[in-house]
Amino acid sequence: MKRQRNESSEVWPRMTRRAVLLGTAQIGLMGVLGWRMKQLQVDQADEFKLLAEENRVNMRLIPPARGLIFDRNGVPLATNEPVYRIVIVREAAGEPREALARLAAVMPLEPEAIDRTLEEMDRVASFVPVTVKDRVSWDDVARVTANAPALPGITAEVGLSRHYPHGPDTAHVVGYVGPVSDYDLSLMEDPDPLFQIPKFQFGKTGVEAKLEDQLRGKAGAQRIEVNSVGRVMRELSRDEGDKGTDVQLTIDAGLQAFVEARLAGESAACVVIDCASGDLLAVGNAPSFDPNLFVRGISVADWTALNENIYRPLAAKAVQGAYPPGSTFKIVTGLAALEAGVIDPEETVWCGGYTEVSGTKFHCWKSGGHGNVNFNDSLKYSCDCYYYEVGQRVGIDAIAAMAKRLGVGIRHNVPMSAVAEGVAPDRAWKTAQYDDDWRVGDTVNASIGQGYVLASPLQLAVMVARVATGREVIPRLVKTIAGVEQPSGAGASLGINENSLRRARASMFDVVNHERGTAHKSRIATDGMEMAGKTGTSQVRRITPEERARGVTSNADLPWNRRDHALWVDFAPYNNPRVAVAVVVEHGSGGSTAAAPIGRDVTLQALYGTFPPLEAYPSDARDTAAAMQERVRAIMEGRPLPTEAGPEGSRA
């Protein structure tokens, strides 16, 4: 008995401790359950009440604000403007066609818009909002909002759309944005999730396309709660993402507008480059187009009008166009010969109107010939026969090497669409291109910028800037990205003998300022601002011996697309080069009559920074200059044009 009492006394404390621990655990568990019940039933009652009504939480991407584009002076070239749009989310709207039919009963909705929306909804995830109609009026927004209970999954929202305040003036440089297409997506290895959003604006051409990654920004995210019929109940969280990076171009908006207005009525291009920095101050193309048409959705009629225009307004001729440079290329041939030491600048070559090579006559533009001409005369009078001889002496490989040294036959790295490489042909090029040997006749043609030689206006502007400075000037279109200055295009020395460059510059000066120079009528009269330049006229058709025998047909008597191209290059001021200019007028007939006057006007505008005084023009050209300025002002200000007779083009 004593033993049993001892065992009981030992077991009882152990049982008591266990009971206490178990009771404590039970009390703790009941406390936690009670706290949780209070949280669910009291603190979160409203939230779970909504969830009890089959609410769901959706994630939506928030498109970031696209980076802005400015000119060199901070003038906006591409901005974002708020617009209203109607969107539909398939998973919340129910049967899509019925939902759109209900919407059409509330606001105007074309059948084409319904079909397009249904197609887009089939291509994207069910939670991705699809734009039914963009740029709607406030009245439409009010109707949709007022009828929200009857339109589940359909909402009105405000977004940002691209706008180009300068319209056609900067269309080819800045480019434009448009909806991401299946073709665009097929070209991307890892598409940004933003591209799943229908009608998301994506850079299509120009700077908008080339700097898309910087301008686009990073997507944000929105968590929203919707009820069983798809109506948005509240926003749970929102991350705006990162705005796109702002970009500043080297373009001067004022000069760009002048160039576009000065080229109006022509199929032409003009490039203005800063000799000190390589900055592209203007890149003009005519005719142009309004890029806002593409952002808003271009109509069939507008697209057809642009696409079928023989002047090709959609082409960025300044960088895409590849033209025979004609006599402007004589600068290249002449420098190649001077550097190779195959000519003495004072040595003369006889020009009797043609040169015979291997039984073929190669004609000078002046049928009667120029007589004995030296290096200076050859550029001043633009004598072809001189370069037929010099080209054979120096050879095509040396000419091609000099062309590339001066920027011709090189694809310059500027962020614009389809930048042309041009052609600076040599023996190896012809073998690779045509599996054929180079012939002496090819050299003769190339020596005057004909035959296989092709150059863009951008390349010609770079060429003359390099001649003017003796440096490897590199064209620069982007000045800053996110406020960070981009590398200068001033370039290092070309390594060309300075005496050779002086000879070329002096001859170019006489082209403009000597009374017998081919561009004397387009000189600048202001002391200290004189320019040096070179005219060019390039054939686009072959003149047969039979036609020469009966008399070459005048350009004025030919169809427009059979006339010669007119070209011009210059730099100014002569003693302190600040700007270089290149002009190409498609089928303009004569470099001295069609292209040089444009080049002079643009050069003066660039030097003065505004409309120059009429005293900057020769006295006999001031009336014409006054009329030109009034016409350009009218175009820039959107006023009716004054009536005036257009100049006739002729070969020079």
Residue 385 near residue 355, CB atoms below 8 Å: yes
DSSP of 259-272, one letter per residue?
HHHHHTTSSEEEEE
HEC letters along 176-206: CEEECCHHHHHCCCCCCHHHHCCCCEEECCH
Q: How many residues does the chain have?
A: 652
Cis ω for the linkage preceding 487 (within 30 of 0): no
Strand partners, 537: 566
Which secondary structure element, helix H or strand E, spans residue 354, and what is its range? Answer: strand 354-357
**Integer Cα distance of 457 and 268 in angstroms:** 10
| Residue 143 token pair | 């109707």
Q: In a 10 Å sphere around its CB, with 0-12 CB exposed, 13-18 middle and 19+ buried, how is residue 341 labelled?
A: exposed
Q: How many CA atoms lie within 13 A of 147 on its CB side?
A: 17
69-70 and 247-249 strand pairing: parallel
**Integer Cα distance of 259 and 266 in angstroms:** 12
Phi/psi at 532 (nearest 5 deg)? -120, 140
Closest CA to 159 of 111, 198, 101, 116: 198
- Which residue is it, tokens 């003017």? 468
Strand partners, 361: 356
Residue 366 near residue 353, CB atoms below 8 Å: yes
DSSP label at residue 169:
G
**Integer Cα distance of 590 and 584 in angstroms:** 10
Residue 351 near residue 385, CB atoms below 8 Å: yes
- Which residue is it, tokens 């082409």? 315
Which of the residues are catalytic? Answer: 327
Q: Indicate the residue type of 524.
A: I
Question: Residues with Cβ < 8 Å from 337, sequence gap 6 or more?
Answer: 343, 390, 391, 393, 394, 398
